[in-house]
Amino acid sequence: MRLPRIGTLLVAFAGIVSLTASHVTAALAESGWVLWVHAYEVFVDGNENQQRRNVSWKRVTAVAARTDCDDRRMREARAEFDLLTGKGVGATLTGSEVGFDQRNTRFKRGYRSFECWPDTVDPTKAKRE
C-alpha cells in the first residue's frame, strides 16, 4: 500500500512543479510596455540630403499590455496634432508620428514619434541603424 501512495505523491508533485514552471514562463513572456515620445528635427542641406538631429526621448507612461500601449500611442499622437493645429502650426499626422513646421531654426521640420517599447528596453541606449 505504501508504494502506490508515494507514486501518487510524486506524480502530484511533478504536476505542481510543471504548473508553476509554466506560470513563471508566462509571467516572463508578459513584459510590461512603456510609451515614449521621440522628438527629432530634419532639414535638407545644399546637396539635397536629409539631415536629422535627435532632440530627446521622454518616457510618457508604463502599461501592462502592448495593446494598451498601442491605443495610448495613437491617442497621444492625435492629441499632439490637435494641439499644434489648434495653435495654427502646420502639422501632419501619420500613424503615431506628428510632423510640424518650425521657425527660427535651420531644422525647418520637427517630429514627435510616439513609440511603444518593452519595459526591459531603454530606447535612448538602443542601437539605431
Query: pLDDT band at 127, cuts 50/70/90?
Result: low
Q: Give residue-wise pLDDT tens across range 14-40.
A: 554 444 444 433 443 557 999 999 999
pTM above 0.75, yes or no: no
Q: Give residue-wise pLDDT tens across range 110-126.
A: 999 999 999 999 998 86
**Residue-level pLDDT at 5:** 57
**Residue-level pLDDT at 3:** 47
* Domain boundaries, given as residue ranges, for the chain: 1-30, 32-118
Q: Mind giving me the DSSP string for 13-31?
A: HHHHHHHHHHHHHHHHHS-
Q: Which three cell numbers stand for residue 127?
A: 542601437
- The answer to whether 107 and 41 have CB atoms below 8 angstroms apart is yes
**Residue-level pLDDT at 125:** 85
